[in-house]
Amino acid sequence: MLGFMPDVKDKLLAWVSLGDEPGVAPDAIERVRGLLNTDDRFNGVDRLGDDAPREIVAARDALRDYLVRGDAAGVDRLARDHRLVVSFTADGPRLEAADVDLVAGVLAEVHEAHRAGQWQRLKACANPDCQWIFYDGSRNRSGRWCSMAECGGVMKARAYRARGRSA
């Protein structure tokens, strides 16, 4: 629950569903993964809908750009616009939202995930039709697809057919 004040966390859960397979992430980073997957590209659906605040849509899109393309400009802009404060606890320093600010809470979660080494395990599925964000729990962090049973099988079959056509 680092980074989120309780009412902010509950407000985010109004738009985000947690525990959607495949690739569920541990702890607080699951809320961020859930937010990133509200842009369901496989089904062509934006699950945030029209009632979601523009800031949270912008945060989702900026975080997706940061995760998938390494483009930090949007996230950097969000960090300047949404105040975070450093607090010190027995477990060490942490960032948290300065006010009841949904975007600042999400940014604090991303910071904590980086610090814990979890952000680097979030990946976009290598199937260009899918792009589902999944948590790569493999020991060597080599996961490429959200699910071997679905996207992995499809992509391997495509590669096999392409090799057969070129031969």
Model confidence at 8, pLDDT cuts 50, 70, 90, reads low
**pLDDT digits 0-9 by tens, 100-147:** 788 998 999 999 899 899 999 999 999 988 889 999 999 998 999 888
What's the pLDDT at 48? 84
Residues 83, 98 contacting (CB under 8 angstroms): yes
**Residue 148's CB: how many other CB atoms inside 10 A?**
13
pTM for this one? Answer: 0.80
- Across 62-99, b (16+ Cβ under 10 Å) vs e yields bbbebbeeeeeebbeebbeebebeeeeeeeeebbbbee
- Residue 2 pLDDT: 43
Mean pLDDT of the chain: 86
| Residue 37 contacts residue 142 (beta carbons within 8 Å) | no
Assess whether the previous peptide bond of 22 is cis (omega < 30° from 0): yes
Say how many C-beta atoms besides its own lie within 10 A of residue 60's C-beta: 24
- CA 141 to chain CA mean position, Å: 16
User: Among the residues of the chain, which ranges form H helices?
Assistant: 6-13, 29-36, 54-69, 73-81, 102-116, 153-166
Q: What is the pLDDT of residue 113?
A: 92
CB 86 within 8 A of CB 93: yes
pLDDT range class, residue 1, cuts 50, 70, 90: very low
Residue 134, φ and ψ in degrees, nearest 5? -130, 160
Residue labelled with tokens 């980073």? 29
